[in-house]
Amino acid sequence: MSHPTSPNGTPPNGTPPRHPRLLRLLVPALLLAVTACTGAPAAPRADAAPQVTGPLCAALPTGTEPGNPTFLAGQPVDQALRWIPTLTTFEAALRTSGVLTDLPTGTGVTILAPSDDAFAAKFSEDNWDDLMVRHTDQLRTLLKAHLIAGAHRVDDLVNAGTATTLDGTTVTITRTGPTVRLADRADAVCADYQATNNTRIHIINAVLGTLPTTANDSDQRAH
């Protein structure tokens, strides 16, 4: 039975007429508007692969090879150093000395890591063995001359012009052509490796610090 309506189309009891079809059209539109306002979660974006730079990089693992920069970026620093084939002497010294365990957590660190050839050119075999076994206090000081608080890209170091290592030495840093020069003594030959816990690793071709050179042409460790 139909109900009488008022002149404006409203039933006498004051209840507005229902329009199911109109509601079916409005609900999706309202949901779309709410989604647009609140914003759907963005898809996670993959981090860019680490880009290492320097003349030595071409001779080190790249692409999908074991020890490539992308793989190392997901490793703790002690493990990352083990994967870089030219840092066996430096990695062993860090492990023996325990210097890395003294670093404050959460602050990050930049490592200026001399290559094996750099150590061979600096210390005689007997002298180096003596440092590793008997004079670990001198070894720790030597290693701190290669550590900088905070994670710094090599370009950031150049822009700053100087950096203070953990042994208290201020190192001058300048760009010389394709490489970066540190303390007018060492060049960064493959820079900007990354590791976890906010760590940067720059491979350098000379040993820093104040210890004297004891190697000579007849007594250099082969690497």
Listed by start position, the domains of the chain span 57-204
Average pLDDT over residues 42-59: 74
pLDDT interval class at 218 (50, 70, 90): low
Average pLDDT over residues 90-97: 96
pTM: 0.77
61: helix, strand or coil: coil
Q: What angle do CA 146, 81, 91 make, to 5 degrees?
A: 60
Residue indicated by tokens 């003349």: 55
Average pLDDT over residues 114-142: 96
Average pLDDT over residues 158-162: 97
* Contact yes or no for 173/158 (Cβ under 8 A): yes
pLDDT interval class at 217 (50, 70, 90): low
Classify domain 57-204 at the CATH class level.
mainly beta
Count helices and strands in the chain by DSSP H and E runs: 8, 7
Question: In the predicted model, is pLDDT for residue 114 greater than 70?
Answer: yes
Give the Cα separation of 56 and 62 in Å (integer).
12
- By C-alpha distance, which of 175, 172, 182 is closest to 206? 182
